[in-house]
Amino acid sequence: MFRGYPRARPSKKVLGADMTCAMDWTYVGEHPTFYDVWIARTIHGDSFFETPSDGNWNSAWNLFWNADKTRGRFYSQRPFQVFSCWNGATAFTAQPILEKSVEFRAANETAGECRQGEPQLFCKDLWFKGYSKIAVVPSVNLEYSVEKAKKIKEDKGFTSDIVLKQDSDGDRIEWRLDPPSMVKCMPVWENQYWQSWNETLRL
């Protein structure tokens, strides 16, 4: 069921990435839906799909609706750069941890920082410390139950089968070293707004 999963770590090295993530899914119906929409943000700072204030996921099928380049690479099953991700599995450089320059933390809400999950804050802090090469590897797909984990591999393809058909040169990313100026804050569905990517962080 986890055939091909080790691709996540080789991809990090081959891409020269600071961090890579899988794609994680849930089955709320017959077809899989991307799961980690609360944490994941595109390289433009937006969520992977649009979620209105009533919290419905009716647009979950329309991934990367406003990011054509990202959308193209996703459907080609090629890695793409993002602002933040976790998506059920990740590999990241240990350097900022060893240097104690980045750690898992809570949002500094008293200073006005968006209330968000630790993984998103972790990515935010990586960017702030110069670790900007964060990518999703869409050939690695996960689900959260034994039965559905097997099904998502069947639906999306086993990583080893996907990469056998691809030229690895197509995986290379033209890295953007500057973060998006604004990132969507989504503490709850009914309260979504944009905030400076480095809000409360100062050199």
pLDDT digits (tens, 9 = 90+) for 35-46: 999 999 999 999
Domain that residue 17 falls in: 5-196
For 83-137, how does the pLDDT look when each residue is reduced to its tens digit (9 = 90+)? Answer: 999 999 999 999 999 999 999 999 999 999 999 999 999 999 999 999 999 999 9
Q: Would the pLDDT of 203 be above 50?
A: yes
Domain assignment of residue 148, yes or no: yes
**Burial status of residue 174 (CB atoms within 10 A of its CB: 0-12, 13-18, 19 or more):** exposed
Q: Would the pLDDT of 169 be above 90?
A: no
Please give the average per-residue pLDDT across 52-64, as a whole number. 95
pLDDT band at residue 7 using 50, 70 and 90 as cut-offs:
very low
This prediction has a pTM of 0.91
Domain assignment of residue 203, yes or no: no
pLDDT band at residue 9 using 50, 70 and 90 as cut-offs:
very low
pLDDT at 3: 35
Helix residue ranges, H only, 4-133: 8-15, 68-75, 95-98, 118-128
pLDDT at 11: 67
Bridge-based pairing state of the strands 80-84 and 41-42: antiparallel
Lowest-confidence pick of 37-41, 48-52, 158-162, 181-185: 158-162
Domain assignment of residue 104, yes or no: yes
pLDDT at 144: 93
- Pick the closest to residue 191 from 53, 39, 51, 37 (CA basis): 53
Please give the average per-residue pLDDT across 133-162, as a whole number. 94
pLDDT at 111: 96
Q: Would the pLDDT of 200 be above 90?
A: yes
Q: Domain count of the chain?
A: 1
Domain assignment of residue 43, yes or no: yes
Please give the average per-residue pLDDT across 65-72, as a whole number. 97
